[in-house]
Amino acid sequence: MEEKRLLREEVDVSRQAAKITADLVVEQISRMEESYRELAKVNCELREALDEISTLRGTLPICAKCKSIRDDAGYWNRIEKYLQEHSAADFTHGLCPDCEEDLYGDQKWFQRLKKDRES
């Protein structure tokens, strides 16, 4: 009789150990699934960010005078056109102070404008 009681107790302890082990395994799997979901979300965000990035790499043949760029087909393009086609950049134009002076420095209207800017 004692042997049967000991055997039942051993079976009960084994069942409890198995339940605890199963609960721990389920908990660990749940954590792993959550980590996987978080990793998948971050991975998706990174892919979206990479899709938005346009990076120019390598050597660009550029004219020393007019700054046109030669494309892979051998055609020369204005730098603005080339960069718009090969990056996410948009352009607006203006004149730097040196170029303003070169273009309009001898014009009276420009001299007045320059004087007004300095005041």
Residue positions counted in the chain: 119
In this structure, the answer to whether residues 78 and 111 fall within a common structural domain is yes
Whole-model pTM above 0.75?
Answer: no
CA dihedral 47, 48, 49, 50 (to 10 degrees): 50
77 and 48 share a domain? no
On whether residue 59 sits in a domain, the answer given is no
Whether 46 and 13 share a structural domain: yes
Its domain, for residue 42, covers 1-53
Question: Which range among 1-15, 19-33, 61-75 shows the weakest confidence by mean pLDDT?
Answer: 1-15
Residue 70: what pLDDT? 93
Q: Both 48 and 75 in a single domain?
A: no
pLDDT over threshold 70, residue 3: yes
Separation CA 49–CA 6 (nearest Å): 64
For 57-103, how does the pLDDT look when each residue is reduced to its tens digit (9 = 90+)? 788 899 999 899 998 899 999 998 888 888 888 888 888 989 999 99
Does residue 112 share a domain with residue 80? yes
Q: What pLDDT is attached to residue 54?
A: 66
Q: Which amino acid is at 118?
A: E
Q: Does 46 lie in the same domain as 75?
A: no
- pLDDT tens for 92-106 read 888 898 999 999 999
Q: What are phi and psi of 77, to 5 degrees?
A: -125, 150
